[in-house]
Amino acid sequence: MSDKVNSKTTVVDCSVRDGGLINKWQFDDNMVKAVFQAVNASGVDYMEIGYRASEKMFPPGEYGPWRFSKDDKILEIIDGEPLNTKLGVMVDIGRVEAEDINPAGDSPLSFIRVATYLKDVKKAIALANLIADKGYEAFINIMAISTVNDFDLEAGLAEIEKHAPVTAVTVVDSYGALDGDNVRHLVNVFKNSLDKKKVGFHGHNNLQLGFANTIDAIKAGTTFCDATITGIGRAAGNCPLELLLAHVDNPQYSIDPIFQVIQDVFVDLRKKIEWGYLLPYMITGMLNEHPRVAIALRNSKEKDDYADFYRKLTTPECYSN
């Protein structure tokens, strides 16, 4: 039996936020409430309950409420329950405005994470400063980390270290392309570049490595680790929360509420929406490509034409019109 990892790990649940990428956040209130209650009872440290975005920037009616995660909607979900878990949201650069974020004293949220590509790090820093000025704990997540070089990454991290009032900066394996060696290297780059900030990790499961990479990240020195219930998330999904809780040596965490919500909610949810390891997602992970093309395949009549899909990505000249 493998040794459990250290108890200093801080667990962040992203089930509703990342899971909503599958169905445009069209979760009903009962589902979100059940997830919140399970996570809150489990002792998990942080929970991203959705995205925060400006409704005027999106087509009316296309997205569910957890694309916007308004404070009054979150209060309905909490329904007066004492918070053991810190609640927060994620924001995308260019999709949220200052007036969409109430002062922390007027909100049930305590943290906000900024999702950014490395090229937009200065915009992420400005948004993180706005968030901190409004009284929230701020974080920055650097997406598509498998596509950047160390020189540019170190420069971006130096800017964050100097100018962003954030608790942690997260390594995000958006394409599920990393292996353990990659993860350990990146965590070390982050740690060496960040003096006052902690390091986080967010893994995807395209190569069946979401959980393994998370454990490698913890052993390499990350503090904040993301996970989702049953690995729910875009395409191949994420590190499963239940696996992570079972592997972290911390009596604070109770896995029982997570098993209960899986039984009560996620068994039926899997019959309605699809996530988890599948060959098209493995192929995009192997090729270090965004999974959007694999998602499109799974939504087409050719959803199981795996060999053709692989050939189209690796020899596109043979398929051009």
Please give, one letter per residue, the 3-state secondary structure of 284-311. Answer: HHHCCCCCHHHHHHHCCCCCCCHHHHHH
What class has domain 10-269? alpha beta
Higher pLDDT, 321 or 86: 86
Q: Residues 278-283: what's their mean pLDDT?
A: 98
Q: Are 73 and 65 in contact (CB under 8 A)?
A: yes
Q: What is the pLDDT of residue 320?
A: 62
Tokens of 313: 């990505």
Average pLDDT for residues 284-292, to the nearest whole number?
97
pLDDT, position 8: 81
pLDDT of residue 316: 79
Give the residue-averaged pLDDT of 96-106.
98
Q: What is the largest CA-CA distance in the chain?
A: 60
d(CA 176, CA 203): 7
Quick one: pLDDT band at residue 321, thresholds 50, 70, 90?
low
What is the reported pLDDT for 249?
87
pLDDT number for residue 97: 97
* Per-domain boundaries in the chain: 10-269, 279-318
Query: Each residue of 5-18: pLDDT tens digit?
Result: 766 899 999 999 99
Summarize the confidence of residues 165-184 as an average pLDDT.
98
b/e map 173-193, b = 16+ CB within 10 Å? bbbbbbeeebbbebbebbbeb
Q: 10 Å Cβ neighbour count for 250?
A: 16
Mean pLDDT of 8-31: 97
Rounded to 5 degrees, what angle do the CA atoms 294, 144, 6 make? 110
When the pLDDT of each residue in the chain is averaged and rounded to a whole number, the result is 96
User: What mean pLDDT comes out for the span 247-260?
Assistant: 95
pLDDT digits 0-9 by tens, 51-60: 999 999 999 9
Q: What is the reported pLDDT for 7?
A: 65
Residue-wise DSSP of 31-95:
HHHHHHHHHHHHT-SEEEEEE---GGGS-TTTS-GGGT--HHHHHHHHTT---SSEEEEEEETTS
- pLDDT band for 318, please (50, 70, 90 cuts): confident
**Per-residue pLDDT averaged across 253-276, rounded?**
97
In this prediction, residue 1 carries a pLDDT of: 45
Q: pTM of the predicted model, to two decimals?
A: 0.96
d(CA 312, CA 283): 11
Query: For the chain, what percent of residues have pLDDT higher than 90?
Result: 95
pLDDT at 254: 97
AA identity, residue 256 = D
Question: How many Å apart are CA 55 and CA 258, to the nearest integer?
Answer: 32
